[in-house]
Amino acid sequence: MKTKDLLRELENMLTKDQINTDEEDLYDASADRYKKYAKVRRVLDVPKPQAIVYPNTAEEVSKLLKFCNENKINVIPRSGKTATEGGLENWKEETIVIDAKNLNKTIKIDEYNMQATVQAGVVLGELEEELRKRGYTTGHSPQSKPVAKMGGLVATRSIGQLSTLYGGIEDMVVGLECVFPDGHISRIKNVSRRAGGPDIRHIVIGNEGALCYITEVTVKLFKYFPENNEFHGFLVKDMDTGIKVLREVMVNGYRPSVARCYSEEDAKQHFYHFYKDHCVVIFMAEGNKEIAEATGKGIEMAAEKFKEGIVEKVDSGLLEEWFENLNWSQQDIDDEYEGMLENDSHTGFTTEVSGDWETIIKIYHNVMKRIKEEYHRVEDLTLLGGHSSHSYINGTNMYFVYNYEIHCAPEDEMRVYHHPMQRIIVEETLKLGGSMCHHHGIGKFRNEWTKEEHGSAYYMLEKLKESFDPNNIMNFGTIYPQEEGEKYQK
Amino acid sequence: MKKCLIYAGNENAKEAVDLIEAVDHLYGQVNTRIYGFGDPKVLKSLEGYFDVLIRDEGSELQKNDMKFDIINITNCLEELYQAYDFDSILIPANYVGRMVAPRLSIRLETGLVADVTAIESDGENIELIRPAYSGKLMAAIRNRGRGPLMMSVRQNVFQWEKLRVEKSQWKKFPFKNIEASEVTLLWTEGQEAMEDIRESEILIAGGGGTARYFDELEDLAEALQGRVAASRKIIDQEIAPRSIQVGQSGKTISPKLYIAIGISGAIQHIEGLKNLDHLIAVNKKRHAPICSIADLVVEGDGKEFIEKLLRRIHRKDQEK
Amino acid sequence: MKIICLVKFIPDVENIQFDKKKNVLMRENAKLTVNPDDETALAAALKVKELAPDTSVEIVTMGPKGVTRKFQDLLRRDVDKGILISDALYVGSDTYATSRILGAYLKTQQADCIFTGTHSLDGDTSHVPAQIAEILGIPQMNNVITLDMDQLLQGKALLQVNSEGDTLHFQMNLPGIISFEKSREYKMPYIRYEDFQRDVSDKIKIFSNEDLQLKEEEVGLTGSLTEVSRTFMKEVSKKDSITVKNDDEGIERVYQFLKEKGYL
């Protein structure tokens, strides 16, 4: 549909100030943090959306989706804009972005029943702040917390730094409300648990905007005891020891909120002041006093068991200091943009995977070996490392990080640097049966492997898409591979 | 007895006088006769330090602007060598010297060592020490040529203050080999105020903790003849412009002295510091990462630090 | 107009490792890069070519044949010809011998202008450009920041030079050697993805001593008039950081530190 006509139709559904056609905003909306360097250098290769709209209610979202569905217009659901895998990138000429900016009310904070209900456009950091005043927390603490909003956090099955205790978003969501392409509004009620057929929340949690639009979420509350936080850290000989220590803590039933193991190079970035060229293991025990103390003891016992692999203990004052400075802010993001303009280097690209205890360490070593041997730009890498940051009783994740100096045209940066790295990491992970995407979502840039990731179960994902979004208008290219979009991926 | 020629090429007489210490290191107790040649205005200030001061006879040199005429300077030095047969020739490693010395070494078919920082000599075996690989490595070099020992030396590496003779002998030399100049100086733009913090050798940087007294950093910078820089947190609060931001996404700097006040030292800031000689960290938190890489850590409030240090510095000046 | 650009490949000075036992730099595994000043010089030459496409830009380097891959990367940027001067006899040449070798090649060429860097990050003597100029009997200037390209194409070299903080403007006669210092003014163009593997071997010519015909005693270690008798690491005092407080004693310590190190 021509933009002129589109805008006229939109004006029938919304007021003028709910429609944004500013050129700069549209350029900004055409890609997310995945192509941050190309965006800053103004060499994006993708089309701009035609408009950004800000619905005020779920009914307005319903009208919009119905309209787009009938007219085959691509819809990009958006809230906090912190996506890192191309989930917000636009691959269609006819597209609108539906932004949750006006869906920003905190509807209810229910302290007795330990639940908080908010609309999709509420900033997690702001919700957290309000809760902490009352002595509570959501327990969800991704690095993007100060900026990310609830809709996106649920849509991407996000996870936070304290997940080892509180779980990922899927453990925190109680009920929610979402809208489907045919306009249908579904409200999943808030109950503590039920066996009412399959758990349909999981169609929505993690759909990455490819099936529906989330308008409201209810999450659990936890009591907040920051005064009981205990930090424990160790320098260890190698990643194998580090992973073993993490496993020991987990299988014995302890739930520290933070459980991490950094490889040497990765450790250097964060802990240059005490890592002494070793891998670093960090724990934080949190919760009410008795639990925090017991968890601390459990950590010490795990360390004791593997003491031949442990070089020394780290002063907890140092860890506390580090932890306080961990999160992003909008300023961090802006500053990063400025920095990329001035200097020709890329800070921090990542590919994060998961596996069971046995597999994850194999994946780590295979990836490191293969990159050092095969990667054609290994000379330009200024950092190559990995860290485990989310543990479970039956495994953990591995977050590979890499920085590089850019010695090529900005338009070529991704295909020269990140894509070949990502390919190696994904291939090695899938080979050993791990998952290629622990918490960032598939987005658009790992969709080439979606089928391999799910194997015979892909059938179930495919059917969901066929049923809920038969016209393929929801976030074209996300999760489900599309031949038409390949030109933007290579 | 050893004869040395020191070229006193630009307006800085001290640069030439200081090279006498280098000669001293070369020959130790052996008698030396030191000749000076160069800019006529400078020669006067060398009186009493040099044994012989050479000026041109025909004032040919004054006719052209000799200051940047590399080829003619080389011609003159060659003529002097042919007349006096020096054992060594020392040239200050300034802009002009760095172009003259290599040319002269080709003319005289002798080895040349640039940027000498130290000399090891027992009179016969002489080793000239210089840095290589951006200062990571020191090399000891010997001359294998049959010509004179030649070296260029940077300012302030050597020092000399003692007068050596009661009266220098002045000689007039008839230079014959002056050619038409191939290079003409059109105009000069003076020393620009060092706008860029990357140019400064001394930086006083303020972090988030200095927000309420950031202006006071300028006082300390002035006292130390340095410049003020800032970490990102200060820039974010719009207390200072982005042009003085140090860090991964700001500027990368290599000052000699970096005083970091109220800066925690996150890797993004540290990445902007390359090859600094000395770091003083002033911080209330001794666990701040930056303390681990500092030469000197002052545990305390930055404002108090600045005020007390300034008082100490000025007290010394008053005592003078 | 014919411009010849001299380029030196140096080991990665930032990250090079020192073998403490053998007392040598571990050069074998150090990655080679183009000396930054020289890269600026080549970028400037390519800029001239952009203005006047019939300009011919030739790069010349001296070194082991192992530099070929990096050399090819330079040629992929619209450089017309690449000369690699390589011979076992030349190994160990100091700046004097190196200048003789490069001078011998350049004497056979009719360049209107020779572009070079001013200093290299490894040797950092700045000898070679001036010495080559002496051998060829032409003028040369260091630390060039900008060059008036329109004037250059008309045969005049108008140079802006950085002399210890002052900016000086010179006119130099051509033919001459223009030695650049690293600057953001001239940046190398990018090689596009499609061009990464383009075959440029037909642009490369290798010159050995058979071509240059220099006497053995003029080159290599024998022909060097300086020799490195030994190398050593600079005494780096361990960072034993001292912690003081904001009291009189502490401030005095800071004051003395500043004085000792020459900042006051």
CB contact under 8 A, B289 and A272: yes
C237 or A186, higher pLDDT? A186
Query: Encoding tokens for residue B214?
Result: 């950031």
Distance CA(A149)–CA(A128), nearest Å, equals 11
Closest-CA distance, A338 to chain B, in angstroms, reads 7
pLDDT above 90 (res B151): yes
Is the domain spanning A226-324 CATH 1.10.10.10? The answer is no
- Which range of residues forms the domain containing residue C15? 2-223
Q: Is A189 exposed, middle or buried (0-12, 13-18, 19+ CB in 10 A)?
A: exposed
**CA–CA gap between residue B9 and residue B36 (Å, rounded):** 10
* Residue A155 structure tokens: 């849509």
Q: How far is CA A199 from CA A172, A188, A195, A215, A435, in A?
A: 14, 10, 8, 19, 22
Among chain C, residues having any CB pair with chain A shorter than 8 Å are: 31, 190-193
CATH number of B197-319: 3.40.50.1220
Asked if A404 and A346 count as a contact pair (C-beta separation under 8 A), the reply is yes
Encode pLDDT of A371-384 as tens digits.
999 998 888 898 99
What is the CATH classification number for the domain harbouring C87? 3.40.50.620
Whether C245 is in a domain gets the answer: no
User: What pLDDT is recorded for position C221?
Assistant: 87
Lowest mean pLDDT, pick from A144-153, A390-399, A418-427, C61-70: C61-70
User: pLDDT band for position B54 (50/70/90)?
Assistant: very high
Question: In the CATH scheme, what architecture does the domain A3-101+466-489 have?
Answer: 2-Layer Sandwich (3.30)
Residue C78 CB contacts under 8 Å (≥ 6 apart), including other chains? C46, C49, C57, C189
Q: Domain segments of chain A: what residues? A: 3-101+466-489, 109-223, 226-324
CB-based contact B93:B78 (threshold 8 Å): no
Task: Tell me how many domains chain C contains.
Answer: 1
User: Are the beta carbons of B12 and B96 closer than 8 angstroms?
Assistant: no
**pLDDT tier at B59 (50, 70, 90 boundaries)?**
low
How confident is the model at residue B233, as a pLDDT? 87
ipTM over 0.85: yes
Instruction: Tell me which residues of chain A have a C-beta less than 8 Å from any C-beta of chain B.
Output: 268-274, 315, 317-318, 320-322, 325, 331, 335-336, 338-340, 342-343, 347
The length of chain A, given as a count of residues: 490
Distance, in Å, from the CA atom of A138 to the CA atom of A161, rounded to the nearest integer, reads 12
- The listed range with the strongest mean pLDDT (A247-251, C225-229, C255-259) is A247-251
Query: Which residues in chain C are contacts of A416 at CB distance < 8 A?
Result: 193
Between chain B and chain C, how many beta carbons pairs sit less than 8 Å apart? 233
Residue A379: CA atoms inside 13 Å, Cβ hemisphere, count? 10
pLDDT at res. A379: 84
pLDDT tens digits, one per residue of A236-261: 999 999 999 999 999 999 999 999 99
Of B252, B213, B214, B254, nearest to B230 by C-alpha is B214
For residue C118, being part of any structural domain is answered with yes
Tell me the three state secondary structure of residue C129: helix
List of chain C residues whose C-beta atoms are within 8 Å of the C-beta of residue B71: 139
Q: How confident is the model at residue A411 (pLDDT cuts 50, 70, 90)?
A: confident
Partner C, chain A 392-411, Cβ-Cβ below 8 Å: 408-409
Query: Does B304 contact C at CB distance below 8 Å?
Result: yes
Q: Which long-range contacts (CB under 8 A, 24 or more apart) does B307-313 make?
A: B307/B216, B308/C246, B308/C248, B308/C251, B309/B220, B309/C251, B309/C254, B309/C255, B310/B219, B310/B220, B310/B223, B312/C251, B312/C252, B312/C254, B312/C255, B313/B223, B313/C255, B313/C264
**Would you say residue B105 has pLDDT above 90?**
yes
**Chain-wide mean pLDDT for chain C?**
89
Mean pLDDT of B238-247: 87
Domains A109-223 and A226-324 share a fold: no
CB contact under 8 A, C193 and A415: yes
Who's near B155: CB < 8 A, 6+ residues apart? B12, B15, B18, B92, B93, B94
Reply yes or no on whether the pLDDT at B58 is more than 60.
Answer: yes
**How high is the mean pLDDT of chain A?**
93
**Residue B102 contacts C, CB cutoff 8 Å:** yes
Q: What is the pLDDT of residue C92?
A: 87
Among positive and negative, which fits the CA dihedral C145, B157, B159, B225?
positive
Q: How far apart are CA A412 and CA A406, in angstroms?
A: 10
- State how far residue A347 is from chain C, nearest Cα, in angstroms: 19
Closest CA to B258 of B209, B201, B303: B201
pLDDT tens-digit readout, A15-36:
999 999 999 999 999 999 999 8
> Does C36 fall in a domain?
yes
- Please check the confidence at residue C96 and state whether its pLDDT lies above 60: yes
- Angle subtended by helix axes A3-13 and A58-71, to nearest 10: 150
In chain C, residues with a C-beta closer than 8 Å to the C-beta of B68 are: 168, 170
**Which two tokens mark B82?**
């042919």
Residues with Cβ < 8 Å from B289, sequence gap 6 or more?
Answer: A271, A272, A273, A318, A321, A322, B264, B265, B266, B267, B270
Domain A109-223 CATH (choose: 3.20.20.100, 3.40.50.720, 3.30.465.10, 3.30.70.100): 3.30.465.10
Predicted confidence at residue C236, as pLDDT, reads: 56
Give the lowest-confidence range in A155-169, B47-61, B254-268, C153-167.
B47-61
pLDDT at residue C235 tops 70: no
List the 27-86 stretch of B: residues with Cβ below 8 A of C: 68, 70-71, 74
Q: Please answer yes or no on whether B297 and C251 come within 8 Å at the CB atom.
A: no
Q: Could you give the percent of chain C with pLDDT greater than 90?
A: 60
What is the mean predicted confidence (pLDDT) over C144-159? Answer: 93
In sign, the C-alpha dihedral spanning A285, A288, A293, A298 is negative
Instruction: Indicate yes or no: CB of A409 within 8 angstroms of CB of C31.
Output: no
What is the CB neighbour count within 10 angstroms for residue B310? 17
B296: its two tokens:
């000197």
Same fold, B2-173 and B197-319: yes
Q: Classify residue C202: in a domain, yes or no.
A: yes
Which of these CATH numbers, 3.40.50.300, 3.90.1010.10, 3.30.1330.10, 3.40.50.620, describes B2-173? 3.40.50.620
C-beta atoms of B249 and A340 within 8 A: yes
Q: Over the stretch A250-300, which tens digit does the pLDDT of each residue have?
A: 999 999 999 999 999 999 888 888 999 999 999 999 999 999 999 999 999
pLDDT digits 0-9 by tens, A62-93: 999 999 999 999 999 999 999 999 999 999 99
What are chain B's partners, defined as 3 or more CB pairs within 8 angstroms?
Answer: A, C
If we measure between CA atoms, which residue out of A88, A241, C24 comes closest to residue B138?
Answer: C24
Assign residue A87 a region: left if phi > 0, alpha if psi is -120 to 50, beta otherwise? alpha
Indicate the SS3 state at residue A17.
helix
Residues of B with Cβ-Cβ distance to A321 under 8 angstroms:
264, 285, 287-289
Q: Do C193 and A379 touch (CB under 8 A)?
A: no
Residue C13 confidence class, pLDDT cut points 50, 70, 90: confident
Task: Name which of C95, C229, C254 is nearest B127 (Cβ-Cβ).
Answer: C229
**Strand-strand pairing, B126-132 and B137-143:** antiparallel
Amino acid A117 reads T
Q: Which residues of B touch A320 (CB under 8 A)?
A: 287
Q: Please give the Cα distance from A83 to A89 (Å, whole number).
A: 9
Distance from CA of B219 to the nearest CA of A (A): 28
Question: Which of chain C's residues have a Cβ under 8 Å away from the Cβ of B189?
Answer: 166-169
Name which of A119-123, B76-80, B240-244 the model is least confident about: B240-244
Give the per-residue pLDDT at B209. Answer: 87
Q: How many CB pairs under 8 A join A and B?
A: 52
Of C139, C233, C255, the CB nearest to B309: C255
DSSP H helices, B93-243, are 97-107, 216-224, 232-236
d(CA B313, CA C258): 10
Whether residues C227 and B304 touch (CB distance < 8 A) is answered with: no
Residue B176 has pLDDT above 90, yes or no: no
Strand order in the sheet with A115-119: A106-110, A115-119, A213-220, A173-179, A185-188
Domain residue ranges in chain B: 2-173, 197-319
Q: Which residues of chain A have a CB within 8 Å of the CB of B268?
A: 347
Question: What confidence score (pLDDT) does residue A391 get?
Answer: 96
